Each structure stands twice: as C-alpha cells, then as structure tokens.
Structure 1
C-alpha cells in the first residue's frame, strides 16, 4: 500500500464510527450528577459544621464570662464584711478629728470606690418601697410618718453587682399604726 492510501485509510470514518455511544455517555452523566449532589451535600455539611463551631465558641465565651462574673460576685460578697467593719469602726470612733479616724475614713472611701469600679454598688433603700428581691425585712415599725411598706431604717447596707443582688439590705419597714396603740 502506498503512503497516500495508508493515510486515507487512517482518516476514513465509517458510518459505524458516527453512531453515538449512548450507554457509556449516560453512565458518565449519571456519575457527574451523583458527584454534583455529593458536592452540594458536603458543602451543606461543611457550612453547618462551621456554624456549629462558631456557636460553640460564642457559647463557651458566654459561659466563661458568666463564671468570671460569679467568681467576682462571690469574692465581693465576702469582702463586703470588711466594709461593714470599717463603717462600724468609724461610727463608734469618739474622736472624729483624729488622724486614725481620717485614715479609716479614707480607707472606707477607697473601698467603696474600688467596689464601684467593678460594678458593685449599694442598693438605695432608705425611704423606698420594700422590695423582697432587694431587701430583707428584720422587723416592722408602726408609724404615721410613712405609708405602710416603706423602709424607715437600713440596718445593714445591701449591694448589687450590676443588676444582680449580692447581699440584700437588712431593713425595718413601716406599717400602719394599729388602733390599739
């Protein structure tokens, strides 16, 4: 065979060659569809895992912050007794002009300042309506000066850490004067 005939036979396409090979093509298209669906499922799963990880991180941070606040609150509850002792010492000091008195007064002022810096404040109670969530009534006192349920005396100061009560104020509450008195 000549070289030209050899080239012609190579480039010759028969009718059989032009028929579509449908079975292998359909199988490949099915496989592509299956893989595309798997990709979508994996992308969805990945997105959900990322969101779950983000939520877990946020939850852990919130839990840490809450535990930190509770730790501060527990410590502050115990330290409040020191302030009470200083306040009692000042109230019972006979020489209000002494250096000792002034030093204790400055110490107590610094104590209250530090509490305030950390979000711990005294509960304003005197002449306010009794609130069982902030006050502990030690007794009641008959009086015409105030309506019933008003705090007439604060026996021990109450404190709160932000909006949470650390220690309720111990108070005496007014009540209506009875007819028998």
Structure 2
C-alpha cells in the first residue's frame, strides 16, 4: 500500500506542478491578450486620426482646386461688366442684350455658389481688400476715403483673390 500512497503523492505533486504551470501560462496569455487589446485600441485610434486627416486634406485639395478655377473666371466677370457699361442705350433694349445679361447673372450666381464673393467697398480705404489706383486731392473729404470703384474685387472663401481697385482721397499738399 505504501507504494500506492507514494505514487499518489507523486501524482498529486505532478498535478500540482502542472496546475501551477498552467496558471502561470494563463497569466502570461492574459498579459499578452491585454497587450494585444491595448495595441488594437491604439491602432484603431491612429487609423481614425488618419481618416480624419485624410478627409481634411482631401477637402483642402478640393477647395484649393475650386479656388484656382474660380479665380480664372474673374476676368470674364470683369469683361461682362465692361461690355455692359460700354453698351449704348439703344442696345440695352435689345433681346440679345437682355439674354447676355441673364447669362451674366447666372454665371455670377454659379461662381458665388462655389464661394466667390464680391468685396463690398465702404467709405474707408482698406489696404487688405483694396488697391488704390489713383489718389485725388480733396480738402472736403476725409483722407483715404474711397471716392470711386474702378474695378470690383473678389474674395474666395474669405481670402482676397483680387483686391478692389479704387480711387481714394488725400489731403492736398501745401
């Protein structure tokens, strides 16, 4: 019987050793699992950040390309305005003139829908939005008052793409 007891003790010791080894292995695997879960979370966060950055970059490229295209059409708007201002009164009553005027308005509306805005010219000269093409001496007007808009200016999404060309008043030299 003693042999059986010795064998049972050895089996118990072996089983305890195996259980201890298995518990240690489980702890290792649990630690590895936590590491993988943390890595997966970080990787997911990095990927989400990448997606947001890529979307922003795509939007910036789109806005930039649209801006360059819109800027190319500004001279066409100016040409329309010059053509209208140079037209005689008899021509202004023609169907052709009115048709061209409608085309101009639709063209301008399309550019505005893309983000183009005409610069509003107030009374005071603004060097960020205006370009002084002529200075006119005038004692009655306050200095750097806009007297006349020579050519309209435009902004694309709040960025000046063409400053308004204006005539401004200055005090006479003595």
* TM-score (norm: length of structure 2): 0.82
Matched, 1:130 2:109: no
Following TM superposition, by how much is the alpha carbon of 1:143 offset from its aligned partner in structure 2, in angstroms? Answer: 2.3
User: Number of matched residues?
Assistant: 168
Matching residue of 2:113: 117
Following TM superposition, by how much is the alpha carbon of 1:13 offset from its aligned partner in structure 2, in angstroms? Answer: 6.2
Matched, 1:43 2:37: yes
Distance 1:29 1:91 in 2: 92
Following TM superposition, by how much is the alpha carbon of 1:163 offset from its aligned partner in structure 2, in angstroms? Answer: 1.4
Q: Secondary structure at the match of 1:133?
A: coil
Structure number having the greater helix percentage:
2
Distance 2:140 2:38 in 1: 70
Matching residue of 2:48: 54
Distance 2:32 2:104 in 1: 69
Matching residue of 2:104: 108
Matching residue of 1:83: 77
Cα–Cα, structure 1 residues 38 and 126, in superposed 2: closer, same or farther, change >3 Å? same
Q: 2:65 aligns with which of 59, 71, 75?
A: 71
Greater CA drift, 21-30 or 113-122: 21-30
List alignment gaps of at least 5 residues for structure 2: none
**CA radius of gyration, larger in:** 1
Cα–Cα, structure 1 residues 17 and 80, in superposed 2: closer, same or farther, change >3 Å? same
* TM-score (norm: length of structure 1): 0.79
Distance 1:142 1:167 in 2: 26
Following TM superposition, by how much is the alpha carbon of 1:23 offset from its aligned partner in structure 2, in angstroms? Answer: 4.1
Following TM superposition, by how much is the alpha carbon of 1:27 offset from its aligned partner in structure 2, in angstroms? Answer: 3.0
Matching residue of 1:6: none
Following TM superposition, by how much is the alpha carbon of 1:25 offset from its aligned partner in structure 2, in angstroms? Answer: 3.6
Matching residue of 2:169: 174
Q: Secondary structure at the match of 1:16?
A: helix
Following TM superposition, by how much is the alpha carbon of 1:19 offset from its aligned partner in structure 2, in angstroms? Answer: 5.3
